[in-house]
Amino acid sequence: MQIKAAICRAFGKPLSIETLELAPPRQGEVLVDLRACAICHSDISYAEGAWGGDLPAVYGHEAAGVVSAVGPGVTGVVPGDHVVVTLIRSCGHCHYCARQSLVMCEEVFPLDQQGPLAFADGGACEQGLRTGAFAEKVVVHESQLAHVPADMPFDVASLLACGVITGFGAVTNTARVSAGHAVAVIGCGGVGLNAIQGAALAGASPVIALDLSDDKLAAAREFGATHAFNPADPDHAKSIKALTQGRGVDFVFVTVGVEAALASAPRYITRNGSIIVVGMPANGVRIPYDPGKLSALNQKIIGSKMGETRLRHDIPVLVEHYQKGRLKLDELITARYRLEEINEAIAAVKNGQALRNVVIFE
């Protein structure tokens, strides 16, 4: 079938709206008619060449829509279901899946070997981030889907596919923050604000936001931060120590892949404290650290991919938080765009003018 999609043909260049052929779903695969796809910084980084990859490609991985067809063997969804579409593809039985680390699944799927996108002349187009959701429709493995209520707006639901589960999950799944922990979050974009929400809901205190943008610091307070500091303030680290009886925080979440942010994280943590690396830096970024100090103070550096999310467990919990007014999602959306306006939407994100911009498919 033919679909419209925003294609990256050269790193760092505007995306082009073109027509592609989308293969029908095979064994275990599902066709989803998309209604919304949010723009994540990871999509932008890929399109700029920060992590390499094959071109041409369709990026976009934070989506929601309606199941329109299923392949043989699919049992978890049926046509008409409203779903969130994610990049988390898992087999459920490999070494990592058996340990509930679905984001680390080691299975090689047919979609990994041959993606569903192609040009009319037969040339291949990469399904970026295993999703390719800057498009009207996607074909993904059924493990990449999670149900959402039929009355949940698609633009809001799309946020659950990455930004929310990554930030919230880093707090609740990776760090397992609990009441009384002191938390700092570096970077108050979409992922950072959801880490703040997760920390606040877990009962952490204080919850400290760090960002160079005063507007984002103001947003962080709205999302649950008890204190907010601009790292450009030379006294901000002293202020953080004062808030924690001179010790520092138990957890610092680095939600941006910026070298300076990653390098600054150790100064904020206490003895037994942990740095949780959430944001993905470009290839080649290296941060020095003092292993003697790390060992002597029993400190830890921990990676968190996609919030270590288990889709069918975590998405219903987040939906319930949203429905009961405990989780802000509507407030994360800055603006909505048509697919033909995607380059404008991306530019606004890059310029720091948006928490989340969402592409709407009519």
Residues 275-300 have pLDDT tens digits of 999 999 989 999 999 999 999 999 99
- Going along the chain from its start, the domains and CATH numbers come out as 2-161+329-360 (3.90.180.10), 166-305 (3.40.50.720)
Q: Quick one: pLDDT at residue 204?
A: 98
| DSSP at 135 | B
Q: What are 194's two structure tokens?
A: 């959801």
**pLDDT tens-digit profile of 50-93?**
999 999 999 999 999 999 999 999 999 999 999 999 999 999 99
Mean pLDDT score across all residues of the chain: 97
CA separation (Å) from 110 to 28, 103, 107, 250? 10, 18, 10, 42
Q: Give the angle 315-171-207 at the CA atoms, nearest 5°.
A: 125
Q: How many CB atoms neighbour CB 292 within 10 A? A: 8
Share of the chain above pLDDT 70, in %: 100
Helix (H, G, I), strand (E, B) or coil at 268: helix
| DSSP at 124 | B
Dump the DSSP string for 75-106. Answer: -S--TT-EEEE-S----SSSTTGGGT-GGG--
> Edge to edge, what strands does the sheet with 2-7 contain?
2-7, 16-22, 117-118
Q: Is 151 left (phi over 0), alpha (psi -120 to 50) or beta?
A: alpha
Residue with tokens 């082009």: 16
Q: Quick one: pLDDT at residue 65?
A: 98
**pLDDT tens-digit profile of 159-212?**
999 999 999 999 999 999 999 999 999 999 999 999 999 999 999 999 999 999
**pLDDT tens-digit profile of 124-146?**
999 999 999 999 999 999 999 99
Distance separating alpha carbons of residues 57 and 214, to the nearest angstrom: 35
Dump the DSSP string for 182-251. Answer: -EEEE--SHHHHHHHHHHHHHT-SSEEEE-S-HHHHHHHHHTT-SEEE-TTSTTHHHHHHHHTTTS-EEE
Q: Quick one: pLDDT at residue 362?
A: 76
Helix (H, G, I), strand (E, B) or coil at 16: strand
Q: Quick one: pLDDT at residue 83?
A: 98
CA separation (Å) from 14 to 9, 43, 200? 9, 13, 38
Longest CA–CA separation in the chain, Å: 66
**pLDDT tens-digit profile of 249-270?**
999 999 999 999 999 999 999 9
pLDDT band with cut points at 50, 70 and 90 for residue 352: confident
Does the pLDDT of residue 314 top 90, yes or no?
yes
Q: Cβ(202)–Cβ(176) under 8 Å?
A: no
**pLDDT tens-digit profile of 93-105?**
999 999 999 999 9
Q: What are 225's two structure tokens?
A: 């931060």
Average pLDDT over residues 224-248: 97
Does the pLDDT of residue 226 top 80, yes or no?
yes
Average pLDDT over residues 11-23: 98
Distance separating alpha carbons of residues 221 and 195, to the nearest angstrom: 12
Q: Quick one: pLDDT at residue 353?
A: 82
Does the pLDDT of residue 328 top 90, yes or no?
yes
Q: Cβ(53)–Cβ(174) under 8 Å?
A: no
Q: Quick one: pLDDT at residue 27?
A: 98
**pLDDT tens-digit profile of 38-61?**
999 999 999 999 999 999 999 999
